[in-house]
Amino acid sequence: MTTEKTFYLETFGCQMNAHDSEKVIGTLVGEGYRQVENEVDASLILYNTCSIRDKAEQKVFNRLNDYKKLYKSGKRFAVLGCVAQQEGEKIFERAPYVSLVSGSASYRKLPEMLARVEAGENRVTGLDDRQTDETFETELTSRQSPFRAYITIIEGCDKFCAYCVVPYTRGKERSRTSESVLEEARRIIDQGYTEIQLLGQNVNSWKDPEGKRSFAELLAAVGEIAGVRRVRFMTSHPRDFTREIVDVIDSVPTLCDHVHLPVQSGSTRILNQMNREYTRDWYLERISWIKAAKRRIALTTDIIVGFPGETPEEFIETMDMLHDVQYDAVFGFKYSPRPNTPALVMIDSISEEEKARRLDVLLERQHEIQRAININYIGQEMEVMVEGFNTTRNQIMGRSSQYKTVNYTTSSLIAPAVGSYARVRVTGAHPNSLVGEAIL
């Protein structure tokens, strides 16, 4: 009698990690495993890890330590993702009950690695270096969202920003062919999805290995597939952002009017220290292209405060960037040193208290900007995709094409299906959301 193969997978980190997990789940199911909802019921426990933030690896080891007692009952453990690639075989030393350690660049080898674990091996590794040219593609993707489907079009990163560990944990940039992306997009639409989001560490750095399409042309091709209602892409790098991308958003209605373009700092000197490969003026030129579009394109960004050597005057330059651009949302972070990154050798003389103060000042100012921007939507009508329900407030939660959260009410007695669309008139605004009423 064979014991059933069951697994529990917990994911830490970004959308890239979440979508990696969808493909890992599909691979495991294809190998005869069944997913369960808790560690106790699993024969294999996997953690898909992220090391982008401070102390990420410690969180993983703490989680492993919490559940090491389960090892005695015959369960096996696997650590996947960025912390796995970063820490490598050191994980076996700190957590000897772990049987499998694999970075994301080695996921294509999962069936082989799982077979070795099942055969009784205790230290199986998948730690490809930056030289691999292969991407992780599988038809067996277990999509967790009922309304939005993700497609990774480029893996890895070649930018080597001074603060970022990703180039060392995810390997070099590896693009999928446009034909493979379009084939997956068509499958997704056939499965009933209407919104597709293209993913990449630097999604617009994608280059078609077959040379058939530019990134903008790929956006257009996905947007023109019959049945597609919305197409998003994230995250763009300013260095590879072209005017052609703005033009195609203007010309293809299914492309969402939202661009996430991380600036990180408003100071050219700090950008140079970060090895961002552009200046403040370079970035603002791309913003001017976006602002000149025929339809309003919402802009969001990432900002790091307290990078080593950032002076009070340079922080003010970043604050001025908020005023100049008028972002719809900002994801702000305090600088924290990451393993193996060039910034580690820089003198980090800014105190944690000062970093926290700068972040608070930045987010408070951005809060005011978002309130002013969102007030301008009152009275407008927009299409909203339904994502869920707030039964406490009797509201339907959805998302606009500009990626704004919209909470609305309806006089209809029939609740809309998740993933459906509604016309909504905006009646109120908050800094982080809009309020409205369905137009029946």
Total length of the chain: 440
Token duo for residue 88: 């490598």
Type of residue at 102? S
Which pLDDT belongs to residue 130?
65
Q: Which helix (H) or strand (E) holds 180?
A: helix 178-190
CA 55 to chain centre: 19
Which pLDDT belongs to residue 436?
98
**Residue found under tokens 């691979």:** 27
Residue pair 190/5 in contact by the 8 Å Cβ criterion: no
Contacts of 195 (CB under 8 A, 6+ apart): 147, 148, 149, 228, 229, 230, 231, 232, 385
Domain presence at residue 425? yes
**Residue found under tokens 């893996």:** 155
Domain boundary residue, one of 76, 103, 126: 126
Type of residue at 265? S
Residue among 327, 347, 319 nearest 431 (CA): 327
Interatomic CA distance for residues 175 and 155, integer angstroms: 6
Domain presence at residue 114? yes
Residue among 266, 272, 271, 382 nearest 330 (CA): 266
Residue among 197, 125, 127, 199 nearest 157 (CA): 199
Interatomic CA distance for residues 169 and 156, integer angstroms: 8
Residue pair 369/331 in contact by the 8 Å Cβ criterion: no
Domain presence at residue 161? no
CATH code: domain of residue 428: 2.40.50.140
Max distance between CA atoms of the chain, in angstroms, equals 71
Domain presence at residue 84? yes
Domain assignment of residue 89, given as a range:
6-126
Q: The dihedral of CA 67, 68, 72, 78: what is its sign?
A: positive
Domain boundary residue, one of 126, 155, 181: 126
DSSP 264: B
Domain presence at residue 245? no
3-class state of residue 42 by DSSP: coil
Which pLDDT belongs to residue 153?
96
3-class state of residue 340 by DSSP: coil
Domain presence at residue 212? no
Interatomic CA distance for residues 180 and 40, integer angstroms: 38
Domain presence at residue 388? yes
CATH code: domain of residue 80: 3.40.50.12160
DSSP 291: H
Residue pair 426/402 in contact by the 8 Å Cβ criterion: no
Interatomic CA distance for residues 101 and 157, integer angstroms: 21
Based on the structure, what is the number of domains in the chain? 2
Q: Which helix (H) or strand (E) holds 378?
A: none
Residue pair 4/37 in contact by the 8 Å Cβ criterion: no
Domain presence at residue 48? yes
Domain boundary residue, one of 126, 157, 186: 126
Q: In what order do the strands lie in the sheet with 258-260?
A: 258-260, 298-305, 329-334
DSSP 210: T
The DSSP-derived string for 214-260 is -HHHHHHHHHTSTT--EEEEE---GGG--HHHHHHHHH-TTB-SEEE
Which pLDDT belongs to residue 1?
36
3-class state of residue 388 by DSSP: strand
Q: Report the alpha-carbon angle 234-323-405, nearest 5.
A: 45
Q: Report the alpha-carbon angle 368-371-372, nearest 5.
A: 90
Interatomic CA distance for residues 376 and 379, integer angstroms: 8
3-class state of residue 63 by DSSP: helix
Type of residue at 184? E
Strand partners, 74: none
Residue among 47, 93, 53 nearest 67 (CA): 47
Output the tens digit of pLDDT for each of the chain's 440 residues: 357 899 999 988 777 788 888 989 989 999 999 999 998 899 999 999 887 766 667 788 888 888 777 776 788 999 998 888 888 898 999 888 899 999 888 888 899 999 999 999 989 999 876 677 777 776 656 677 888 999 999 999 999 999 998 898 888 999 999 999 999 999 999 999 999 999 999 999 999 999 999 999 999 999 999 999 999 999 999 999 999 999 999 999 999 999 999 999 999 999 999 999 999 999 999 999 999 999 999 999 999 999 999 999 999 999 999 999 999 999 999 999 988 899 999 999 999 999 999 999 999 999 999 999 999 999 999 999 999 998 888 999 999 999 999 999 999 989 899 999 999 999 999 999 999 999 99
- Enumerate long-range contacts of 416-419, CB under 8 Å, 24 or more apart: 416/386, 417/386, 418/146, 418/147, 418/386, 418/387, 418/388, 419/146, 419/147, 419/192, 419/193, 419/194, 419/385, 419/386
DSSP β-ladder status, 395-400 and 433-438? unpaired
Please give the model's pTM, rounded to 2 decimal places.
0.89
Token duo for residue 287: 């913003």
